[in-house]
Amino acid sequence: MKKQEKATEIYRRLAVEFPDAHCELNHDGPFQLVVATALSAQCTDVRVNMVTPVLFKAYPTPEKLAKAKQEDVEKIIHSTGFYKNKAKNIIACAQRIVTVHEGVVPQTIEELSALPGVGRKTANVVLSNAFNINHGVVVDTHVMRISGLLKITKEETPEKIEQDLMKLFPQKDWGMLSHLFIFLGRRVCIARRPQCDLCVLIDLCPSRTKTARAKSP
């Protein structure tokens, strides 16, 4: 099977397996998604979802967060890890949204990436999930790992992996692609205990376990 055909089949099977795949960061609007995604760095979505209701109750708008004291924000987001740097960044991010963008989250990759604490991955998350704009593919640890296991890329950096995935999959599927890989990574292809026998991609995966390999078609 050619790589392009393999990519098409991977997407088809995962779309059937996880029809409800979606962004698992709870949010109400683009601003909350920017902040939640920034907090999710090296932290689980579950933990972030425990913190953000308190954070957004105290600071429901960019204007409110822009005026927050860092130590107050640190107390709320402490459990997400790296809380000092994250608090500094999300406050600065809110300030830039207010001063540069009149309180409205921008809708371009360049403007989003210029926000403090917002890299290309976060920008892609916001564009895709808040604005339905597929500018690129969100490459997190799950997407990196599974892309490598499936051998659809030989690259090792998020930027280069993203470029490979963008070539293999249609632009209309870029946003959903990351959700499908993330759902697979969290529910079946778990890093420390992959359940290959339960995976719908078993026969397409060169990295499946030997036991699973024996059961594959």
Positions annotated as catalytic residues are: 121, 140
Integer Cα distance of 103 and 51 in angstroms = 23
Angle (CA) 87-88-89 rounded to 5° is 90
Name which of 189, 204, 101 is nearest 150 in CA terms: 204
Contact 59, 93 (CB under 8 A): no
Name which of 2, 6, 93, 3 is nearest 41 in CA terms: 93
Integer Cα distance of 142 and 123 in angstroms = 18
Contact 68, 59 (CB under 8 A): yes
Q: SS3 string of 8-25?
A: HHHHHHHHHHCCCCCCCC
Residue tagged 């339905």 (tokens)? 132
Query: CB neighbours of 27 closer than 8 A, spacing ≥ 6?
Result: 33, 36, 52, 130
